[in-house]
Amino acid sequence: MYKDIATPVRTKEILQKHGFSFKKSLGQNFLVDSNVLHNIVSCAAITKDTGVIEVGPGIGALTEHLARQAGKVVAFEIDDRLLPVLEDTMSPYPNVTVIHQDVLKADIHQVIEEQFADYEDIVVVANLPYYITTPIIMKFLMEKARVSQLVIMMQKEVADRITAVPSTKAYGSLSIAVQYYMDAEVSMIVPKTVFIPQPNVESAVLSLTRREEPHAPVADEDFLFTVTQGSFLHRRKTLWNNLQSSLPEGQEKKELIQQAFVQSGIDPVRRGETLSIPEFIKLANALYPHFG
């Protein structure tokens, strides 16, 4: 077994050897605590039959832990200065492939097809750059990538919003968009002190597991998200007011919205933050024939 990368001493040695300086704009906060890494990896059920996608390997602190447990690890890294570093640090792990690409621009289906043809079980594990946490998660969910679980380190505040339940301050269209696809659970709170450089905020590890069954049949997924986003347009306003403003103009708009409220059994004077996901689905399904 090789010495862990994730100690302050070894990380500083690697950074110095390669003359690497952090780019704040790329969300570069590297983990330097092996216990935290063990815990992250144990949140994901990884065996030699598992294929792992990592986003942002940095100098490979998490990557090497994944490589020891998984059959194969494919890691997307945007920063070309890290490629020679990873070539060096990942040399003991032939089951790691680094793809030099912005993950948001990647064709995930193609990568999965090419890299994980022999793998039934694929999981995403990442200490994400905090400036693009939400777009990266939504990319994997909305593009319906063939992954069973995502275990992701992120800003605690974002993890709280994703896992929020109705009638709480943190509940909003992000909670609904993620919980629509996945069961979401905060697995661990992580202090700032385990990173170099330290971020300004507390972090959390979120575990997202694909739901076996949808909450209810949905007429159109994109339209459901149009309705949820529109319902939170102004948090303090009623569903009635928000949907009047956010749905497309057309003949008999008021009457048709009124009709959809009656049909779905949802009281129009409620606020979006009080509706559960099955209630949003009922409302969106009733609005869809007229506004979809």
Q: Rule CB under 6 A: which residues touch ligand SAM? A: 26-31, 55-58, 61-62, 76-79, 82, 102-104, 127, 129, 132
Helices (H) and strands (E) in the chain, counts: 12, 9
Closest to ligand SAM by CB, 91 or 258: 91
Question: Does the annotation flag 113 for ligand binding?
Answer: no
Please state, in angstroms and rounded to a whole number, the distance separating the CA atoms of residues 126 and 151.
7
Q: In degrees rounded to 5, what are phi and psi of residue 196?
A: -125, 125
Closest to ligand SAM by CB, 31 or 208: 31
CA atoms within 13 A on the CB side of 195: 23
Residue showing the smallest CB distance to ligand SAM in the complex: 56
Closest to ligand SAM by CB, 145 or 256: 145
Q: Residue 67 Cβ, how far from ligand SAM at the closest point, in Å?
A: 13
**CA distances to 64, 177, 269 from 278, in Å:** 41, 12, 18
Tokens of 267: 């009281």
Please state, in angstroms and rounded to a whole number, the distance separating the CA atoms of residues 216 and 277.
9
Question: Does the annotation flag 102 for ligand binding?
Answer: yes
Please state, in angstroms and rounded to a whole number, the distance separating the CA atoms of residues 255 and 257.
6
Residue 76 DSSP SS3? strand
Closest to ligand SAM by CB, 129 or 230: 129
Task: With both helix axes pointing from N to C terminus, report the angle between 173-181 and 156-163 in degrees, rounded to the nearest 10.
Answer: 70
Question: Does the annotation flag 31 for ligand binding?
Answer: yes
- Radius of gyration, CA atoms only, the chain: 22
Please state, in angstroms and rounded to a whole number, the distance separating the CA atoms of residues 136 and 280.
24
Q: Residue 182 Cβ, how far from ligand SAM at the closest point, in Å?
A: 21
Question: Does the annotation flag 242 for ligand binding?
Answer: no
Q: Residue 31 Cβ, how far from ligand SAM at the closest point, in Å?
A: 4
Q: Which of 209, 194, 31, 51 is nearest to 128 (CA)?
A: 31
Closest to ligand SAM by CB, 35 or 251: 35
Closest to ligand SAM by CB, 65 or 72: 65
Q: Residue 233 Cβ, how far from ligand SAM at the closest point, in Å?
A: 29
What single-letter DSSP state applies at residue 46? Answer: -
Q: Residue 35 Cβ, how far from ligand SAM at the closest point, in Å?
A: 13
Please state, in angstroms and rounded to a whole number, the distance separating the CA atoms of residues 292 and 83.
46
Question: Does the annotation flag 241 for ligand binding?
Answer: no
Closest to ligand SAM by CB, 79 or 273: 79
Q: Residue 9 Cβ, how far from ligand SAM at the closest point, in Å?
A: 15
* Binding annotation: 29, 31, 56, 77, 102, 127
* Binding annotation for S-adenosyl-L-methionine: 29, 31, 56, 77, 102, 127
